[in-house]
A and B are shown apart, each in its own frame.
Chain A
Amino acid sequence: MRLLLAAVAALALAVSVKGKPADMNDAAIVSAEYPASLSAYGFFTGGADRPSPALLPYALRTPLFTDYAEKQRFLYMPAGAKFSVDGDGRLQFPVGSALIKSFGYHDASGKLNIIETRLLLHRAEGWVALPYVWNADGSDAVLKVGGARKPVDFTKPDGTKMSISYSVPNKNQCKQCHSTKDSVMPVGPVWQNLSFTNAKAQLAFEARGAAPAKLAALEAKWDDSKSGALEARALAYLRVNCGHCHKPTGSASNSGLFYDDHERNAAALGIGKRPVAAGRGSGNFDFVIEPGHPERSILIYRMKSTDPGIAMPELGRATAHDEGVALLEAWIKSLPVS
């Protein structure tokens, strides 16, 4: 009965807010439902290019590669709520918070066309991950729990023109990467890896949480040689691009190959480690990483491939990340040959 009352109350709240689309709908974030339209939350006032002033934009020094897509990240917390930062630098958000991430590509005229917006909603029972795909006219986005594919044309940083089948992940695939001990968890917001496009955004974001008293300095930025040594940048890249699955509590725990914060022994990083379940992902090579020999390292072979039976990471990889490959090749080349 109490549950029913709560549901009715939530519904009443939802209805009462519906008349004011510019306002945030906190109830939609925490309700047990999956709203069919992105507009139900009030995160955007119209198109994807019009985020609500209640959203706090942020970026990452080293981001996850997703087929060269442009990403826009926002944090929403209900009025008065604050985040905290744990000992590893992971931001902890209260129930009622949402992480909002839009994916798109620039067209020939330079206009950014957003394809999809993914939500992580912090509900009482835990985080929920939902993918929304924008309508052709960009007025609203609809929930696609089963995922979607969209043809996309874009130009790589090196000028190569690409035509790919862009994959919007399904709800389970969201969890595949956002999984810790079988629960959905945020991946991106780590204090040492946060960045902001301007001081105003940084002030607004940091005002909503308690800065950690003592944490390591900012993590190396994968593509900025002034930010850290080659190894530090390579490990930052691996943590962000691989460590969400390749950790003892993640989707790739059975591989014994770990790139999260805690595993730093040679075999766990793949150095001199034979593959376990790589199949043809091995590329006929013996080791995940063979020091001094990127051309014989399975890690590089799989990063370069776009074949779904070989490619790593498994999702968002219709394209290889040439610049990421180059960074890791340089690192493996630099490792001492035993």
Chain B
Amino acid sequence: MRMRDKGVYAIAAAMLAISGSAAFAKTIVVAPGDDAQTRLQEALISAAPGDVVELGAGRFKLTDGLSLDVPKVTVRGKGSGQTILDFTGQLGAGEGLLVTSDDVVLRDFAVENTKGDGIKSKGADRIVYYQIRVEWTGGPKETNGAYGIYPVESQDVLVDSVLVRGASDAGIYVGQSRNIVVRNSVALENVAGIEIENSYDADVHDNLATKNTGGILVFDLPNLLQMGGKNVRIFENVVVDNSTPNFAPKGNIVANVPTGTGVMVMANRNVHVFDNMLGQNGTTNVMVVGYRYPHQDPKYDPIARGVAIWGNQHDKAGWDPKFPGSQQIATALGGSLPPIFWDGAGGDEAKPVVSDPVPALSLGLTDLKASPENAQPVMLQNSTNLPQELPRIRLPESMEAAVR
């Protein structure tokens, strides 16, 4: 009897294992056309874990935000040039697509012209964005939505082979998350190309960030549930010609990013910038600064610490710097800013380690309240005393499998 029970359990367990994978998973096909809003939203609600929601080729004309709250669902189109979720006529909701469940894969479709953010995933662990395009098709405009691809408050995030264009804040924005990879992607004509904010443990590599206001940003802000952003590696990216005049609505932190910024680190810890190709950035290729605004958050550290910069290839930079007081500094230095500069916040103990063989500058603004007009520039000595390399980010195998 006992043996028999065991046998039944074994069969039940086997069936459960199968149902958890593919045997009972179904594919729900949704085509563009009349009432696409309701049909697609109902498919996203009726999907069961393991299912694929397959979006047909063509243009889905949508009037409201879509949302997915079922775990282990793949939403898959016919390609980011073929399957287009068109939100030009959007009447409600703060984003085009909102994902709030775990283990979701989004791939091979495009989201265009949302009124707010493009695709947001919140508290969605192990989310995968693959071969997605998010675009405001009119190009850079202040009236475009804020973020293109927007994972937040998530553990394990993969953004791979996406293209984002026209975001009035950040094209790819990862906020308050942990264990993050952003790779093989293109950020074009956004205010911030790629931004990692208030996050822990991120690899940003093999991306192209060009014609943004700022290419790649690593920020930490006060008054949030997760602060103390740290352990970010920016490597093997091409960050060139970030020249689009800042078009962010004022009040947003990125509205203060100077046009022509390559990589910008603000108030983070342990950020390693290495083996990138950087150039044609009119303000500078790499900028390291403190958070220089008043705040009342005793738990917040506004100083950037543990920043290391090595192995990067630098092309022309700094000929047209765009932050207050920068023209005077450039004049004093013979016409342009060097390709690397640090505001000096926090003093010597916070000084970035720079081993790139190019001029690097400290503005000497140790005090966060000091204005750039009061800069006392001194050159930063090159150093070979690099910190220990941060470990490579490893994602759960299920996420890597989803993009193979």
Contacts and interface: CB of A to CB of B under 8 A. Distances in A.
Contacts of A170: 41, 45, 64, 67
A273 B295 CA distance: 8
B224 A256 contact: yes
Interface in B278-296: 293-296
Contact of A275 (B69, B115, B252): B252
B100 interface: yes
Contacts of A281: 116, 146, 249
Contacts of A283: 249, 251
Nearest to B94: A314
Given A170-B45, A298-B251, A276 B93 contact: no
Interface residues of A, number: 48
Interface string A256-283: 1000000000111000111111111111
A267 B223 contact: yes
B390 interface: no
Interface in B132-183: 142-147, 150, 152-153, 168-169, 173, 175-176
A256 B223 contact: yes
Interface in A171-217: 171-173, 175-176, 182
Majority DSSP secondary structure for residues of A touching B: loop
B152 A254 contact: yes
A144 B68 CA distance: 16
A283 B142 CA distance: 10
Contacts of A274: 221, 251, 253, 293
Task: Sort chain B's interface into a size bin.
Answer: 35 or more
Interface string B107-125: 0000000111100001100
Contacts of A315: 92-93
A146 B42 contact: yes
Most A CB atoms within 10 A — which of B41, B145, B221, B250?
B41
Given A279-B169, A284-B251, A254 B176 contact: yes
Interface in B314-369: none
Contacts of B93: 173, 308, 314-315
Contacts of A308: 65, 90-94, 115-116
Interface in B79-95: 90-94
B35 to A, nearest CB: 9
Interface of A: 144-149, 165, 167, 170-173, 175-176, 182, 248, 251, 253-254, 256, 266-268, 272-287, 298, 307-310, 314-315, 317-318
Interface of B: 37-39, 41-42, 44-46, 63-65, 67-69, 90-94, 98, 100, 114-117, 122-123, 142-147, 150, 152-153, 168-169, 173, 175-176, 221-225, 249-253, 293-297
